[in-house]
Amino acid sequence: MSIAKDINVNGKTLKDTKSLLEYLNDKLKTGGGKYIAGLGFVTNDYLNEFQAVKVANQKTAGRQFRQITISITPVGNDLSNDDYLEIGRKIAKYYYDKGYQVIISLHLDTDTRHLHLLVNSVNYRNGKKFSQSKSDLNRLKLHCNHILADYGLDQIRQSDDSMLESVAHNLSEGFDCLELFDEIMADKASALADLCDDPSESMPIAKSTTRGQNSGYTPYSYYFSANDPARNSYLKKVIKTIRR
């Protein structure tokens, strides 16, 4: 099955955000920086815009971000990297529609490609701090599964409880906690066992699609749509803060 997990990372300073963002957007992991995208930004300076939202709303203390890792079952999956990033953008829209900036990073440096979503802890529309209940995680799972089904991919079937990391990780411990190594290995073993048990049935094959290549979006940055009512207020409030 595909996996999604809200990793409990104890990041409470701008330095923590910078450190994590450097790891997530490392060029060696993201195809030279090609497979990175953002929702809710007006520039490519994601770090400063994250901080500008906090400053503009006078909420610079406390948790700075949420980090969600998504691994799609690789067996029977022939999607391109562009397709993967497009899926990441569609999943991230769950948070963007709620008013949170999201940075999407596709990591290619492991045996299993996987996505990381870094969500700002402050809402750019109403200034509220991020919170996520079990019912919110269930809605995220449903949102993800609709997207995965559209691509003919294995869905997320884990419980809502298992989608939330209960143990808090400090960045001083390193970044391995973000990568779901054990879960991905177990998923691979389970998928391969299913294939061996019944060779007449294969894992779902992704539908032929060119969405990632021809959708017309900018691979590195995703800007506000012109008709987004939050765009003008965001521009006035945040850009002024960035230029201080």
Give the per-residue pLDDT at 170.
Answer: 86
Whether the CB-CB separation of 6 and 164 falls below 8 Å is answered with yes
Of the candidate ranges 28-42, 107-121, 157-171, 182-196, the one whose mean pLDDT is the lowest: 182-196
3-state secondary structure of 174: coil
- Nearest alpha carbon to residue 188 among 154, 163, 159: 154
- Nearest alpha carbon to residue 3 among 87, 71, 83, 88: 71
Question: Between 241 and 43, whose confidence is greater?
Answer: 43
Give the per-residue pLDDT at 134.
Answer: 85
The CATH number of the domain covering residues in 3-238? 3.30.930
| pTM for this model (two decimals) | 0.78
Structure confidence by residue, pLDDT tens digits, 134-183: 889 999 999 999 999 999 999 999 988 889 887 888 888 888 878 875 56
43: confidence class by pLDDT, cuts 50, 70, 90: very high
H/E element, 67: strand 65-71
Give the per-residue pLDDT at 244.
Answer: 57
Please give the structure tokens belonging to residue 146.
Answer: 């609709």
Structure confidence by residue, pLDDT tens digits, 113-122: 999 999 999 9
Contacts with 62 (C-beta within 8 Å, 6 or more apart), sequence order = 12, 121, 129
Of the candidate ranges 22-31, 56-65, 167-176, the one whose mean pLDDT is the lowest: 167-176
6: confidence class by pLDDT, cuts 50, 70, 90: very high
Q: Mean pLDDT in the chain?
A: 82
Question: Between 129 and 77, whose confidence is greater?
Answer: 129
Residue where the block lists tokens 């391109």? 80
Count Cβ atoms below 10 Å from residue 74 Cβ, excluding itself: 20
Give the per-residue pLDDT at 110.
Answer: 87
Give the per-residue pLDDT at 218.
Answer: 36
Mutual angle of helices 81-96 and 134-150, in 10-degree steps: 150
Whether the CB-CB separation of 101 and 49 falls below 8 Å is answered with yes
Q: Over 80: is that where the pLDDT of 203 sits? A: no
Q: Over 60: is that where the pLDDT of 67 sits? A: yes
Distance CA 38, CA 3 (A): 21
Give the per-residue pLDDT at 142.
Answer: 96
57: confidence class by pLDDT, cuts 50, 70, 90: very high
